[in-house]
Every structure is written in C-alpha cells, then in structure tokens.
A = this chain, B = another copy of it.
C-alpha cells in the first residue's frame, strides 16, 4: 500500500503533539511536514516544542524543521490541529490547493457541505464530499472534521441506543480534563482544590454538533437528529480523560441489560474495515461498582475506546450512565487519524 506523507498544522500544541505521537509507526502515514506559529518556524521540532507526553519525541519527526502557514507543504494530506482563530481560512486555502484537510478545529464543523465525522457513528456522511468538491471547486482537496472532544464520547455511547431504541432527549454534565484546554489553558492556581463550572462555548458545541452527527445525510443535505440535547460543562483537575454523567430518554422501552448489551456489542464500519486506529470494541463496560474512571480507563484500547458504566434507571428521564473518553486521543488526535484512515479506504484520499 502507498505510504502517505502527512503535514500536521499546529504541531507544537497539545493535539499536535498527540498527532505526532500517534503517527509514529503508523502503517499508512508518515509525517513529512510540521507547521506551527512564527515563533517556532525555522527551528527543529525537537528544539521548539514543549513536549508534554510520556513517550519520547519520535526521532525522525523530532528532526524536522518547523514551517509556518505560508510555506509550501510537501505532503499528501493535512491534519489540522490549529487554533480556531486561524484554522478557518488556512484550512480552506489548503483544500483549494488540492490537499485533503482532516481538521480537529471548530471552524468548519457545522458547514453545510462538511462532514462532522465519527467513523463508527456516521461513516456514510462522507458522501457529502462529492458535492463539497463541486461546490467549492476543490480538485483533490477536501475538508473533513471531527467533533469536539466531549461530543465524540457522547455520540459513540448514544449511537447504539439510537439504533436499537430511538432517542428523544439527552442531558449530559461533563467533568473535563485539563489537556482539553491546551498546554497552558488552565492555570494551576485556578483548578487545584477546585471545579470550574464554565468552559467557553463548550455547551453550545455539544448541543449542536451531536444533532448533526446523529442525523442523516439526505441527498446532499444533513438532516439533524430529532433529539434535544442539554449540556452542562465543568473543568476538573484531571490530566486526560473527560467524564460525562448522561441521562437519556428513549423512544422505545429497554432494560438495563439490553442497554449494556447493545453498547458492549457495538461495532461499526471502522471495525469492519479493520482501520489501523480502530479499537476492536468502541465501547467498553469495565467491571467494578465505581467505574469508569479517567485515571484507570482513559487508556483502554490505546485511548480509542470509550468506557461506560453506572447504567441505571432515572426517575426523571429513562436511563442514566457515566462515560469516560480520552479527550486528547479518541476525542481529538485519534479521531482525526481514524477519519483519515476511513477517507483513504473510501477512496477520497489517494
């Protein structure tokens, strides 16, 4: 199989570092370009990155000289981990220039002709790309996005419930990890011995993105899921791994055992295609009265599985459960990677 050269935009940030880490030894992709802000451009990656991961910087990637956004990029596809303040235009330009852009940034997620992809949930939404290319006059370029980190965990847990029982209402309270805010996003003084019940724009993202993901692509139009979602977001002193307390109202009755069964048995297109980054089981139900927990469960299946537990009836909605998702892997860098793998197999990246 062809080996694809990839560029990482925003390579020195938290998500960029995770991309560098996850792409080390990848069977299809090889990092050929690293792009960061002007402060880093022109320096070796190893010398400019403030590396925060517990594995070493991959030796070859560490030697690459960082470029800035105005440079020519020698690659077959682009992963964007840019900040939302610059991502929008940069990604459009690169796609116009013929590059497939797989983005973690928020900017294009809700665009009418851009798939907001979780391969296990809505792999068929990539069909919009033909129209996108026509409308935007992209040749080999394309724009594909993954959702917000909190939404990815939630949508993965909801999908088998939606398929089996139908869903009408979802209420979620998140307890989000520090890495979701970037490397210097939360001051230590503000979060030790504390909870912060506010994350800018996060609740709106969860409430809107989940409807697009769980909706249908009808012709060349996304029809949002017929579903109401309410989110309350909190930051807690956890390094990695978002915890979410979820309540759902179903359209048809289900038992706790049925809910656990459809979750534990859930597999989808990435598993069928055996994509390199796909977990064997997207949803795990760890044993133990007090699970899932971010410290113990975030790294399951190399950080690509969502752990679910505490399935119990609700006296207000129908059912309650708790999930843990590794926000930086399944919720960001690994999400983008799995999207790219899907697009390769589907023939959109060649």
B54-A299 in contact (CB<8A): yes
Contacts of A207 in B (CB 8 A): 315
Contact residues in B for A170 (Cβ distance below 8 Å): 316
Q: Mark A306-326, 1 if CB is under 8 A from B, else 0.
A: 000110001111001010000
Q: Which of B188, B228, B316 sits near A228, CB closer than 8 Å?
A: B316
- Asked whether A192 is an interface residue with its Cβ less than 8 Å from the other chain, the reply is yes
| Given the contacts A54-B299, A186-B187, A310-B198, A245 and B234 also touching, CB distance less than 8 Å | yes
Chain B: which residue is nearest A229 at the CB level?
B315
Q: Is A217 close to B, CB under 8 A?
A: no
Residue of B nearest to A47 (CB): B287
> Which of A190, A195, A236, A310 has the most chain B CB atoms closer than 10 A to its own CB?
A195
Chain B residue numbers with a CB within 8 Å of A236 are: 175, 195, 236-237
CB nearest neighbor in B for A298: B54
Do residues A192 and B175 form an inter-chain contact, with CB atoms below 8 A?
Answer: no
15 additional A-B residue pairs with CB within 8 Å, beyond A184-B187, A197-B290: A53-B296, A54-B296, A173-B232, A179-B189, A185-B187, A188-B188, A193-B193, A193-B295, A194-B296, A195-B236, A197-B322, A198-B310, A229-B316, A230-B317, A234-B245
